[in-house]
Amino acid sequence: MNLLLAEVAQATQRLADAGVPSPRFDAEELAAHIHGVKRGELHTVGDGDFDARYWEAIARREAREPLQHITGSAFFRYLELKVGPGVFVPRPETESVVGWAIDALRDMDVAEPVVVDLCTGSGAIALAIAQEVPRSRVYAVELDDGAHGWARRNIEASPDAGRITLLRGDATRAFEDDPSAAGRFDLVISNPPYIPLTEWEYVAPEARDHDPQLALFSGEDGLDTLRGIERVAARLLRPGGVVVVEHADTQGGQVPWLFREDQGWVDAADHRDLNNRPRFATARRAAP
């Protein structure tokens, strides 16, 4: 075993002892990042090329700093995004939310669908839709100044930047001063804050101590922002347009009920992620 692989084994144990959920993956990913190789190429790093900065990176991860903050990037569907302090790190479970939305857009008989991503954070959802639905026009709304800066950097670096409009504002009041926006959108999508304030102590340190609080918590039951998004979606969507919202796996029985028939919604339903956990709700705007 070469030196780097031996160090990775030690690092894996340190991360496991610190409670890191995926210690071997993280140890290998950090080794690859520091040494400028792929994870499958760690064995090619010679003993004389071992970089002691690896242990600085391991110490940061041991303290539960997000892996993506240390490497400076996060992978989401077919994208590699720049992330760091001040922005919510996109999660793998959100990929299934976006996948459903992309399928819905492709099924629509609309040549150039118009989409809004509320609470865009790093821009992950907006960028994924723009990339995978090539004729779409996507608006991305973000309130937090730090997150808005990360979204701007990611969007500006994208070949699809010309079809994405980044806006600074409150997702629960999006386009309220633009009467022409009413009924103009085909899809509203959001991964909003949805953690109840009462559950602060149960949140993983990577999120609780490093993600923006604005991206995590939303009232006593976690549904305040989702209620606001329901009102915005009702205003922005055309008849037949669709809303897609992520939620906590404990909220599957609550969120579809926000989209009531007496408020003009039909086909409200909940969906499970790849781990078979309730993950997102969808609803369709009724015809007049």
The pLDDT tens digits of the residues spanning 39-69 come to 988 888 888 888 889 999 999 999 999 999 9
User: 271: closest CA among 254, 284, 252?
Assistant: 252
Per-residue pLDDT, 213:
80
The pLDDT tens digits of the residues spanning 170-193 come to 999 999 999 999 999 999 999 999
Q: Is the whole-model pTM more than 0.85?
A: yes
Sequence spans of domains, the chain: 3-63, 85-285
The tally of CA atoms less than 13 A away on the side-chain side of residue 143 is 14
CATH of span 85-285: 3.40.50.150
The pLDDT tens digits of the residues spanning 192-226 come to 998 887 777 777 888 887 888 878 888 788 899 99
Pull the structure tokens for residue 218. Answer: 């939303």
Does residue 122 surpass a pLDDT of 70?
A: yes
Distance CA 38, CA 261 (A): 51
The two most distant CA atoms of the chain are separated, in Å, by 71
